[in-house]
Amino acid sequence: MSSLESACEQSSIQIDGLQDARRRFPTLERLAYINSGSYGLLGDTVRASLEEYMDHRVKVGADWDLWVDRAGRVRDKVARLLGAQRDEIAVTASASAGINALASALDFSGGRDRILVSNYEFPTSGQIWHAQARRGAVVEHVAEDESGLIPPEHFADRIDERTRIVVLSHVCYRHGGKFSNGSIRSIVEVAHDHGAYVILDCFQSAGAEVIDVKELGVDFAVGGMFKYLLGTAGIGFLYVRRELIPDLVPTASGWFAQDDIGAMNIFANDPSHTASRFEAGTPPVPSCYAADAGLGIILEYGIEAIAARISALTRYALDRFIAEGFPVATPVEDSSRGPMLTLEARDAVALVTRLIERNVVTSYRDGNVRAGFHLYNDRSDVDRLIEALRANRELLA
């Protein structure tokens, strides 16, 4: 059996096991939507949750106890997904808000002034860490090798007693390459040996593959709800390892970051003893409804099953791309790529537009066309993508 036939068979097995998931996303009746790395599709229960919020809002006006409880449900589900405890999860307004709150709690004095930032980072991450230069931080970047990956040795050669924090994006938003679990653990071990922290940005992976923050050993993890977690914008999460919470006091704060939200004390800052100290003001109530429902879908089908499905489907797609002679920009090894595949383009903007005209939805970054797969995709989406790319081959690099 050829590798392509094997990938087809494996993909078919996984897809059959989750076929009913596809029916829950009505957009797929019209579109081959392969764009979850940009924005996940709206599922049936997520839409229903938003309608529930609106109906209840009209009926009662305000129901703060219910709304705060909904944020708590999001906290619980994120903890389950990441293998963490609920007290280690902050529900934030965005991934940016979580990173900013953490950065505000770090001290860059006393010789611990260096921040090592991977070149996989999304702009908001790099920009926030560079903004700490006004507080005495020295930001240094860790680059890819000739393969486009960043081997752990690149970090091991740079981490020392000056390093305060190492910044990793699990999956690179530009080309879909990722740090393997072994690489993350290796970097964490070196960082901890030198007294440094590690933060993992898993915006492009949470909901698409198994992430166990305890097994990886990272100190912090951050992400948002509107990609592979199937929620909506305006809400994110920050994981903070429990042992670190007491000594990290954010200066970016608010009343929901307090130990007693009901105290309404304007004369002091009394941070929560949990990761909630990294929160700020009123939670994004409508987004909490959507995030709760989106996380519910992920946990209902099981992240292990979803990850297996995506791995099989991206393997099938990647083998098809290679067979067609398409210019693949994503690493071909399964352990070195996430749920997104990318192709080099002569004109990525024009190509994505042409694909949309054929009802195939992708996105672009850094000159690459990106196809982000999720539990609701199947081989028919890959086949439609291949057909559309063939018709516009002149726009590929």
67-107 pLDDT, tens digit per residue, is: 999 999 999 999 999 999 999 999 999 999 999 999 999 99
DSSP structure string for 154-196: HHHTT--TTEEEEEEESB-TTT-BB--HHHHHHHHHHHHHTT-
Q: Is 385 in contact with 371 (CB distance < 8 Å)?
A: yes
- Asked if residue 34 has pLDDT above 50, the reply is yes
| 192-204 average pLDDT score | 98
pLDDT band at 11 (very low <50, low <70, confident <90, very high): very low
Q: What is the pLDDT of residues 345-391, one digit of tens each?
A: 999 999 999 999 999 999 999 999 999 999 999 999 999 999 999 99
Q: What percent of the chain has pLDDT above 70?
A: 96
| Entry pTM | 0.94
Band of pLDDT at residue 20, cut at 50, 70 and 90: confident
Average pLDDT, integer, range 299-312: 96
Q: What is the pLDDT of residue 17?
A: 56
What's the pLDDT band for 19 if we cut at 50, 70, 90? confident
Other CB atoms closer than 10 Å to residue 52's CB: what's the count? 13
Q: Domain spans of the chain?
A: 3-44+302-391, 63-299
Average pLDDT, the chain: 94
Residue 138 is predicted with a pLDDT of 98
Q: Please give the CATH topology (third level) of the domain spanning 63-299.
A: Aspartate Aminotransferase; domain 2 (3.40.640)
* Measured distance CA(35)–CA(41) in Å, rounded: 8
pLDDT tens readout for residues 124-173 = 999 999 999 999 999 999 999 998 899 999 999 999 999 999 999 999 99
| CATH level 3 topology of 3-44+302-391 | Aspartate Aminotransferase, domain 1 (3.90.1150)
**C-alpha radius of gyration, the chain, whole number:** 21
pLDDT mean over 227-241? 98
